Amino acid sequence: MDQEHWGRLQAFMRERGFSRFFVSQPENFAWLTGGSNTLGLGEGVAYLEVGEEIVLHTTRIEHPRMLEEEVPGLPVRVHPWYAFPPPGSPNDLEHDLTPLRLRLSQEAQATFRRLGREAAHAVGEVVRAARPGWRERELAGALSEALWALGIRPLLLLVAGEERVFRHRHPLPKDYPLGRAFMAVVCAERRGLVANLTRMAHLGDREVEARYRKVLRVEGVALDHSRPGTSLGAVLASLQAAYGAVGFPGAWEEHHQGGVGGYRPREAVATPGHPLRLQPGMALAWNPSLPGAKVEDTFLLTEGGLENLTEDPLWPGVEVGGRRRPDLWRAGG
CA angle 221, 186, 25 (to 5 degrees): 100
Q: What's the confidence (pLDDT) of residue 35?
A: 95
pLDDT at 331: 67
Q: What's the pLDDT at 65?
A: 96
Alpha-carbon Rg for the chain, nearest whole angstrom, is 21
> pTM to 2 decimals?
0.96
Tens of pLDDT, residues 226-279 = 999 999 999 999 999 999 999 999 999 999 999 999 999 999 999 999 999 999
- What percentage of the chain exceeds 90 in pLDDT? 95
Task: Please tell me the distance from the alpha carbon of residue 10 to that of residue 16, in angstroms, as a whole number.
Answer: 10
pLDDT in tens, 24-78: 999 999 999 999 999 977 778 999 999 989 999 999 999 999 999 999 999 999 9
Q: What is the pLDDT of residue 204?
A: 80
Share of the chain above pLDDT 70, in %: 98
Please say whether the beta carbons of 110 and 90 come within 8 A.
no
pLDDT in the model for residue 176: 97
Q: Is the pLDDT reported for residue 332 higher than 60?
A: no
pLDDT tens-digit series, residues 293-330 = 999 999 999 999 999 999 999 999 999 999 999 999 98
* Structure confidence at residue 43 (pLDDT): 79
Start-end of H helices in 81-105:
98-101
How high is the pLDDT of residue 203? 86
Condensed to tens digits (0 to 9), the pLDDT of residues 170-219 reads: 999 999 999 999 999 999 999 999 999 999 999 887 899 999 999 999 99
Q: What is the 3-state secondary structure (H, E, C) of 311-323?
A: CCCCCCEEEECCE
pLDDT digits (tens, 9 = 90+) for 88-118: 999 999 999 999 999 999 999 999 999 999 9
Distance CA 232, CA 273 (A): 7
Residue 48 contacts residue 36 (beta carbons within 8 Å): no
**Rounded Cα gap, residues 182 and 169, in angstroms:** 12
Could you tell me if 182 and 162 are in contact, meaning their C-beta atoms sit under 8 angstroms apart?
Answer: yes
Q: SS3 for 197?
A: strand
Whole-number pLDDT of residue 208: 92
**Which residues 6+ apart lie within 8 Å of 169 measured at CB?**
254, 255, 289, 294
- Tell me which H or E stretch contains 149: none
Residues 147-182: tens digit of each pLDDT: 999 999 999 999 999 999 999 999 999 999 999 999
